[in-house]
Structure 1
């Protein structure tokens, strides 16, 4: 990776080189081993971490990804039509976007729509890049608050992996946030909080409430081959400059250079098992409609909190009639999606609130920990986000009546609000509930005829009380900062970015799907490393934690390779 080359030239040369190898063309496959040491399913946040670490440690690794490479040239954030095409082509809801690589999700019985992206880098291509760690209390909610379950490890055990992921992702932030224990400084200084951050901070200071510059996985100055943020404010539809840390640019170049094999356009139908009940590989359908099989000694699932339980439930056999790794009956259960509330304040002052990044300007943990006098348990993280251009930050999420959004009201709203508003967003901790789950829909299928996932999800009474409290406090924060009016959304329908809990970890096989290292209790050579492993959801954005846990799990696998049970990969059942 020549340090003197510009981002555009380097990325262009890298892409052309990959095309020449046949890696990036959906209907073309790379030279694959008959039996891989490790097969990873999913090339998103956690899968990227696993593939890179394994390949650099000398394992033969194959990764199957149902999506394709997304070149930065197709992102619309630097184009005049950006706010229009985000309503469809770049909508975060796969049911709206409807790309060939997407699978539909049945949501008629869910309070929240899931948001995700299929492709190399996964949802890191479209995330806002908030980079947050769990707080220490998040790992001990049973001990501290008498609810849910404690995690099988602590914040202190995960902290070194958090710090390594900060470096790998080139995180910009300010150290010594008093909400967290001390630790290493971020590799980059924080992004400017801008006029919206300063205005929000005024209100918080008047009230005596905690705030801190938000950490984001966005380069605040050149970092390796990534340029400094150009402040497009288009993070939620992909970064055309390459300043945002998505794993297609932070992890995959090194993984491929180390010898990893990547197959795009590979929709996995099932994880196969051998006669001993060990994972032996996977069957997938390529974009020509042909069914193929990749054998492996070890299989790792990294398909997100919906895709992973869907695949496990599709992988039935004589040995696993109720789905793979499901002796506990918990595969698909305990779905958590972080219900999101928001309070937008409008100000007389021009705040330049179309400027990016779209990630968090400042954050607050003032009301994060449990205070039972409020009538609920646990809490929420707040974050300030810009309101964007004429169609607004939330235009890509939809849901408002037509008469409120268009016609004369559109012009009135633009005149009154453009550049003069910002959002206090509220990420509510979502408690695990076995009745909130992912199942296979009996009728709906994807384009290859595979069962679509169906969500059964109801936001809890605890969450409702939590959000009521927090939106009222956020309204007070806006008013203290001088807002002339506020508007509140207590539960945003399109907010399900964080898909967690559906294959939870734990020490007891009766109450969990995997152990603390991501290994299935039922299948000793099957690992799960995505957000489905979460015991509780916390009240913060989970990507940093997903990737830190993935790194911890895969390095444990590497360190204990000599003791790893593997598949014979000869006879499947």
Structure 2
């Protein structure tokens, strides 16, 4: 770490930036966080208004290219079938998420050893286990211990959300098929928790939650971080990580809310701007010592982009189930096909996630199901289908490929003239086979459950919620961007703590793993500072700790 300054600056106030800020500030460190967006008023969310479904589609859409808020930056998504979706603001994309909260499995960290593809992580599940537990407590996780498909875990802070009629029906169908399923771990309160109301099962969790039942980093981590002394600057658009003559980071330059240029000096810089924003800022910070982008000696910065390509099967059942009631994406998971199997023509696997019915307008306009025809038959079709549907998403494990990448667009700029990220991405043959198998499995499950019709979609476009792997973690600086402690190999006082550092993507939602990695990285900074302080005190006292003498004279 840089001895010149004990200050820490974090770029990004989302899931990982908030967790990191709290952990460091609670340890007494001076932390400043720069956030491009602003605070959200959860008491004034779109779901409190009659036109919330229209707002959800346009003004408050998932994609910044559709939303076009002043705090957004555009993305060039013309060269990818999966459209990147993200949100700038305090809480980051947890403002716009469904709050699925699964952990990686131990096998997800050992893909190369087990299946001969991709790479192994330099850390494993058990390195993160205690941080997963801490994160469960702060985010407020509801779920059920005892899943035989995952390592033993302590009880969740709250019991699981109810399955509802549709979930119970599908659970019985999975049981008859002999396929393993389990209730979802979710960052949604099933009862009153730390001043947050219990979920009332209204449904559109991605729009925000006036009851604060659905967790987001602004209502969980940030109150704790601010109380511990962290400073948060909103409307701060970072445009450069400044470096000294030695190539190490010296701080972050940004445009404030009025467009003025500002700078925060720091001994440690931490990036938490997601798998697109972090590599983008590092590319924008090229210098004489870092001509290809800051920390890009390996040439991997921006490469190995992984999403979770998602297919879906939707079904209509013969009787109403009011399946629109409840958290829209949080019911149960079937991970029966999660691991590599010799009988499959693909490696790794996928999970199926039960999604509830759409709201009225979305159903009428064709959300998960085909659009209802206009005219005399429209109302008849609406009555026959609304509240009788459910969907199973097929979430696949996307293996890393260097051809899938993010670059700086030569033409598209944001409001301040900064190059936008451009996505270059193709679905692999392995992933396509996974999706096809998942479509067949989901169709079979719905048929077993008694559905009268099914409708498959082999690729959902606006599912680029997870942008992973663009600054790979690893031991070797020649084949990775950061080390096991999230420090950039070529700039050891610069860290990345978001999904950029992922080595593999697993086949499930990454937020708990992102936050666990961020908490662990913060603890490594704390330990390093304490070791340094202890060594300095020992030197002043006139003696040298024995640990520093290991190997002396060899």
Q: Same fold (TM over 0.5)?
A: yes
Quote the offset at 1:353 in angstroms. Answer: 1.3
Q: Which SS does the other structure have where 2:142 is aligned? A: coil
Indicate yes or no: 2:312 matched with 1:342: yes
Quote the offset at 1:211 in angstroms. Answer: 1.1
| Equivalence for 2:113 | 143
Matches of 1:116 and 1:408, distance apart in 2: 39
Quote the offset at 1:240 in angstroms. Answer: 2.1
| Equivalence for 1:262 | 232
Matches of 1:40 and 1:406, distance apart in 2: 51
Instruction: State which of 462, 477, 483 in structure 1 corresponds to 2:445.
Output: 477
Matches of 1:384 and 1:417, distance apart in 2: 18
Instruction: State which of 499, 502, 505 in structure 1 corresponds to 2:470.
Output: 502
| Equivalence for 1:18 | none
Indicate yes or no: 2:389 matched with 1:436: no
CA contact (8 A) 2:368 2:391 kept: no
Matches of 2:401 and 2:368, distance apart in 1: 26
Instruction: State which of 378, 382, 391 in structure 1 corresponds to 2:348.
Output: 378
Quote the offset at 1:563 in angstroms. Answer: 5.7
Instruction: State which of 248, 262, 274 in structure 2 corresponds to 1:292.
Output: 262
Indicate yes or no: 2:432 matched with 1:464: yes
| Equivalence for 1:206 | 176
Q: Which SS does the other structure have where 1:554 is aligned? A: helix
Quote the offset at 1:225 in angstroms. Answer: 1.1
Instruction: State which of 201, 204, 211 in structure 2 corresponds to 1:231.
Output: 201
CA contact (8 A) 1:502 1:532 kept: yes
**1:11-22 mapped onto 2 (5 Å cutoff):** none
Indicate yes or no: 2:527 matched with 1:527: no
Quote the offset at 1:393 in angstroms. Answer: 7.4
| Equivalence for 1:215 | 185
Matches of 1:264 and 1:411, distance apart in 2: 47
Matches of 2:485 and 2:87, distance apart in 1: 26
Q: Which SS does the other structure have where 1:455 is aligned? A: strand
| Equivalence for 1:94 | 64
Matches of 2:433 and 2:532, distance apart in 1: 46
**1:86-235 mapped onto 2 (5 Å cutoff):** 86-235=56-205
CA contact (8 A) 1:87 1:395 kept: no
Instruction: Go from structure 1 to structure 2 and tell me whether the alpha carbon gap of 1:394 and 1:363 turns closer, same or farther (over 3 Å shift).
Output: farther
Unaligned 5+ segments in structure 1 are 1-33, 566-573
Quote the offset at 1:411 in angstroms. Answer: 3.9
Q: Which SS does the other structure have where 2:262 is aligned? A: strand
Quote the offset at 1:539 in angstroms. Answer: 0.2
Q: Which SS does the other structure have where 2:66 is aligned? A: helix
Quote the offset at 1:144 in angstroms. Answer: 0.3
Quote the offset at 1:369 in angstroms. Answer: 0.3
Matches of 1:423 and 1:152, distance apart in 2: 37
CA contact (8 A) 1:94 1:103 kept: yes
CA contact (8 A) 1:386 1:393 kept: no
Indicate yes or no: 2:290 matched with 1:324: no
1:167-218, Cα deviation, whole Å (9 max, x unpaired): 1111000001111011211110001111111111121112111111111100
Matches of 1:265 and 1:236, distance apart in 2: 22
Q: Which SS does the other structure have where 1:427 is aligned? A: strand
Q: Which SS does the other structure have where 1:326 is aligned? A: coil
CA contact (8 A) 2:323 2:357 kept: yes
CA contact (8 A) 2:314 2:368 kept: no
Q: Which SS does the other structure have where 2:384 is aligned? A: helix
TM-score under structure 2 length normalisation: 0.93
Matches of 1:76 and 1:283, distance apart in 2: 34
Quote the offset at 1:73 in angstroms. Answer: 2.6
Instruction: Go from structure 1 to structure 2 and tell me whether the alpha carbon gap of 1:407 and 1:499 turns closer, same or farther (over 3 Å shift).
Output: farther
Matches of 1:394 and 1:375, distance apart in 2: 38
Quote the offset at 1:556 in angstroms. Answer: 1.0
Matches of 1:332 and 1:305, distance apart in 2: 8
TM-score under structure 1 length normalisation: 0.90
| Equivalence for 1:553 | 521
Q: Which SS does the other structure have where 1:525 is aligned? A: strand
Which deviates more, 281-290 or 60-69? 281-290
Instruction: State which of 318, 324, 327 in structure 2 corresponds to 1:357.
Output: 327
Instruction: Go from structure 1 to structure 2 and tell me whether the alpha carbon gap of 1:348 and 1:404 turns closer, same or farther (over 3 Å shift).
Output: closer
Matches of 1:448 and 1:351, distance apart in 2: 50
CA contact (8 A) 1:211 1:364 kept: yes
Instruction: Go from structure 1 to structure 2 and tell me whether the alpha carbon gap of 1:427 and 1:564 turns closer, same or farther (over 3 Å shift).
Output: farther
Matches of 2:166 and 2:228, distance apart in 1: 43
Instruction: Go from structure 1 to structure 2 and tell me whether the alpha carbon gap of 1:303 and 1:355 turns closer, same or farther (over 3 Å shift).
Output: same
Which deviates more, 335-344 or 153-162? 153-162
Q: Which SS does the other structure have where 1:162 is aligned? A: helix
| RMSD across aligned positions (CA) | 1.9
| Equivalence for 1:12 | none
Quote the offset at 1:415 in angstroms. Answer: 2.2
Indicate yes or no: 2:42 matched with 1:81: no
Quote the offset at 1:258 in angstroms. Answer: 1.2
Instruction: Go from structure 1 to structure 2 and tell me whether the alpha carbon gap of 1:412 and 1:334 turns closer, same or farther (over 3 Å shift).
Output: farther
Matches of 2:363 and 2:339, distance apart in 1: 28
Quote the offset at 1:410 in angstroms. Answer: 5.5
CA contact (8 A) 1:235 1:244 kept: yes
1:391-428, Cα deviation, whole Å (9 max, x unpaired): 337979x7999x76766675454223211011111111
Instruction: Go from structure 1 to structure 2 and tell me whether the alpha carbon gap of 1:327 and 1:71 turns closer, same or farther (over 3 Å shift).
Output: same
Matches of 1:232 and 1:149, distance apart in 2: 42
| Equivalence for 2:544 | none
Greater C-alpha Rg: 2
| Equivalence for 1:57 | 27
Instruction: Go from structure 1 to structure 2 and tell me whether the alpha carbon gap of 1:300 and 1:405 turns closer, same or farther (over 3 Å shift).
Output: farther
| Equivalence for 2:508 | 540
Matches of 1:174 and 1:364, distance apart in 2: 15
CA contact (8 A) 1:337 1:499 kept: yes
Matches of 1:390 and 1:551, distance apart in 2: 41
Q: Which SS does the other structure have where 1:306 is aligned? A: helix
| Equivalence for 1:37 | 7
